Structure 1
């Protein structure tokens, strides 16, 4: 066993080096072990670039040799951290390419390494499995990847812009997803004829949720949140392209969906959101409320805190749990986030080999614990250490925004270095209220923001010249 662990560790290190992905080190030995395992698994799930599908990675049940829309949308940032940029571009483009009117503007839910729709989810263009969240989730993933990498093809390539346009228009209308139709839409719009309810390729052709165990489901709150976030992303893309009218239109559309969530889905008695609405006109609760936070669809702080409290009190499958490290860090629940990282990477955790888990751990550590958040439109990278004060943590060789950065958090200081050819803005953030932040030894007045858990964050924005190293510190 010891020999096996040593070999696994060496393979993990080699894979990281070969992929030119980020290298993470920390004095927190438990988190170090979690990252080492997760980064090694990400490389393990990397497919062969010469397969008919092109560069790809596992994002479905491992035995299928395939990638699924929901899983990919979730795994992309973890993949980018580990150097799987070619895979991300190729897989997202494959999904966008296959949107088609003959499938009622759906793509393929799952594609295998042979570049075919996975037979486990597809029989023909009239009979297949599809969760309607997928188009909006993929749209959001494209926006996130542009912000992370600076690669404008994610928001400007004709394959993607065609996908965006069809999703925001024909797809919404074909599946009766307008804001005022959410409770009145048919249970199975666009169903095959004759309809066989016992055939899941019939009844699940257009599921109105990522939650798949609710009989006669008409609408899931997670789908409404996904539509909101997808349209908000389109508004941001239009604004970036100086299309003011389109940006305003999509922003207005998105706002209508968010308002529906707060107007109709809050259960004041249980102090939580309903998650589904069925054909009998009944609301119910179950899995799915996590997506309200993932898609940042909640603007009422009290309600989002109640949602966090319920999530933290529950026990969830590994798919849901794999989203929680990043969510908890961003919402201000730092200790709980660390707990999820260790739980997901624990060898005794059932189904930890599901690909989403390792990708989620990698993202949870780099985006969450290290607080590294690139924003390509603003030419800005934020750092915020959310770890234990006594520990030191470093990410080296992280490819973001067409540059490579190294970030070290140590005690009350952060060192930021980037090797790009252009200057960028570094937002150096620290937990707590600090009037001044020392930048290269010179005091600068701090600005403040508050996370969802009420914790004050102090920060300064610094213009960092290309190829330089800068230090920010608090007293």
Structure 2
């Protein structure tokens, strides 16, 4: 099933046109053409698509309007199936009619109608509903509202496999260079480019897993893995087209001249291990993926440790097409080593250790764990100095240490828990919060999406929730890149709010291969309870409810018995599981004492663990 001529590049083909409507070339979102509707409610552009099978779909389009009362609606067999009002915006923003249920042979009619002013339409997209449909409820309606928006928005970026679409679309080539059938994938990067990016994919993987997009994650992570070859000095390429085979041409010119940034390969290793824990899929421990993880944590480091030999992977200081040390592309600094790359390398070693253990390679797992510990020791005793604004965050080509505000090369260090808990970490988190909220605030909202992760990782729940709210509250502001539309039209914004609700607020961490789950409530003051249902893990689903930070309830809807470790901040002396006293232990986790309770939950079972609030 496909929408014919979704970008109107074939003129009026496939669509039905009322008087006062047609195809123009004056205001396309991408390509050369767009549909236009003059003002007047009776003017419509529509297409009927016949369903080839049973399924549920999202229908999206980029729409601009000169005034109010325009409409975008979908009918199934003549009956209304969904409608959204066209926003009164003269620039393009993305509109979606969500979860349209179809059976084989159903006639789905996609309709755009003008209202009090002109309407322009472009880039219509049909997305399959995500395999999972997790639901969140809460004592604070904002939590549920935020998650519902993020879930639906993220789903709208998923490609229907087999859809034929353009390749190499970008601001310089708005019509691209050809077409190909798209692989299972989702948008991860600018919406006016026809591809997914390594950095964005890494940040979106967990959100995608929570929506059940396991095949899409395998395709995308797998494509980066196969590109990290010796000819690229073990860098993965920076971006792929949605066919998952063709490198995105704006970022790839030749094997020695393509965009590459040191944190990305290490983050992809880390996300490989996370995708494995969520899915339990041996794809992530076998063959290509394991080779990628080995090469990244071995040959890649060796090949990129020449200017300042110390076991830390380097950039060239010569820009993104020669290999940048940091994700912060706009600083103008000629960095050789940067805090975000260092922290990502540390997490990659830990991830590789876990993957090696899953393969039964215990000696290799131990070696990777030792490398991580040694790298962290070197960071604290040889690389970093001072604290707060004066703390080291990078080294430049001259070998000089740099401090002050580095955005990504600042916040990645505590986000990845490279910094040990204690005064230096605390002072730096305060500095990050101050700078991100003031003079150093990033202009692009997608950069700010890392801040909830940073503060949740350090048990600063109030600040993490503050930054989640900030991202959500600014989703309808215009993005600084005009073709991108609104901030909320940048895919990373929605995917990360999904993951930050489940992994962040709810502290839900699955380990499907070993049939384990850990939870730790991160509910801030003002949120009494949060409940999430139908969280996909392995071959089934979990449900989780937190009441404050003192009571947690977990439901196991998988085919296996799972061991649940419920964690509660603080050292508590009275613990009950399902109303009865239960054994527990105190553990220090990232510098803070937690009360940890292990409970075994059979398939179909539910357990509640609570602590007395002394």
Q: TM-score, normalised by structure 1?
A: 0.88
- Residue 89 of structure 1 and its aligned partner are, at CA, apart by 0.8
The farther-off stretch of 382-391 and 227-236 is 382-391
Question: Where do 5+ consecutive residues of structure 2 fail to align?
Answer: 1-67, 73-81, 86-94, 101-126, 164-180, 480-486
More helix by share: 1
Residue equivalent to 1:140: 270
Segments of 5+ residues of structure 1 without an aligned counterpart are 189-196
* 1:332 match: 459
- d(CA) in 2 for partners of 1:461, 1:177: 47
- The worse-fitting range, judged by mean Cα deviation, of 8-17 and 71-80 is 8-17
Superposed displacement of residue 72, structure 1? 0.8
Greater relative contact order (CA < 8 Å, ≥ 6 in sequence): 1
**Distance in structure 2 (CA, Å) of the matches to 1:184 and 1:77:** 25
1:185–1:313 CA distance, 2 compared to 1 (3 A):
closer
| 2:517 is the alignment partner of 1:381 | yes
Equivalent residues of 2:316, 2:323 under 8 A apart: no
- Cα 1:452–1:360 change in 2 (3 A) is same
Larger radius of gyration: 2
Worse-superposed segment, 248-257 or 304-313: 248-257
Q: Following superposition of structure 1 onto structure 2, how do residues 214-253 of structure 1 map, counting pairs within 5 Å?
A: 214-253=332-371
CA contact (8 A) 2:388 2:431 kept: no
Displacement of 1:83: 1.8
Aligned to 1:61: 190
What whole-Å deviation, never above 9, does each CA across 1:224-246 have from its counterpart, x for those lacking one? 22222212221222233332332
| CA shift for structure 1 position 160 | 0.7
State the shift of 1:390 in Å: 5.6
- Higher percent of residues as strand: 2
| Pairwise CA distance, 1:88 | 0.6
Structure 1 position 264, deviation (Å): 3.5
CA distance in 1, matches of 2:208, 2:305: 34
Question: Is 1:161 the equivalent of 2:299?
Answer: no
Q: Per-residue displacement from partner, 1:62-104 (whole Å, max 9, x unpaired)?
A: 1112111111111100111112111111100111112222222
Residues 307 and 72 of structure 1, relative CA distance in 2, 3 Å threshold: same
1:131 equivalent in alignment to 2:266: no
- Asked if the contact 2:279–2:512 (Cα under 8 Å) also holds between the matched residues in 1, the reply is yes
Q: Does 1:399 align with 2:536?
A: yes
Shift of 1:464: 0.7
Please report how far the alpha carbon of residue 450 of structure 1 lies from its aligned counterpart in structure 2 after TM superposition: 4.7
3-state SS, counterpart of residue 211 of structure 1: coil
Once the two structures are superposed, the pairs formed by residues 285-296 of structure 1 within 5 Å of their partners are 285=403, 286-287=406-407, 288-296=409-417
Deviations 1:255-280 (A, max 9, x none): 33222321234332656532221112
| C-alpha distance in 2 between matches for 1:185 and 1:417 | 45
Question: Contact 2:535 / 2:542 at 8 angstroms: preserved in 1?
Answer: yes
Aligned to 2:430: 309
CA deviation after TM superposition for structure 1 residue 362, in Å: 1.0
> Which residue is 2:373 aligned to?
255
Gap change, CA 1:16 and 1:423, over 3 Å in 2: farther
CA–CA distance in 2 between the matches of 1:453 and 1:249? 24
* C-alpha displacement of 1:366: 0.6
Distance 1:257 1:348 in 2: 41
> CA shift at 1:183, angstroms?
8.7
| Cross-structure match for 2:227 | 98
Query: Which whole-Å CA distance do the structure 1 matches of 2:315 and 2:456 have between them?
Result: 39
Give the TM-score of the pair, scaled to structure 2: 0.69
Whether the 8 Å CA contact 2:128–2:159 is kept in 1: the answer is no
**Residue in 2 aligned with 1:71?**
200
Partner of 1:193: none
Give how far 1:139 is off: 0.7
1:164-175 matches, within 5 Å, as: 164-175=293-304
Q: What is the root-mean-square deviation of aligned Cα atoms in Å?
A: 2.9
Q: Cα offset for 1:41?
A: 1.4
Counterpart residue number, 2:59 = none
Distance 2:526 2:429 in 1: 24
CA offset digits 1:2-61 (Å, max 9, x no partner): 998984899456689753231112221122221122112111211232243411111111
Distance 1:434 1:250, change over 3 A: closer
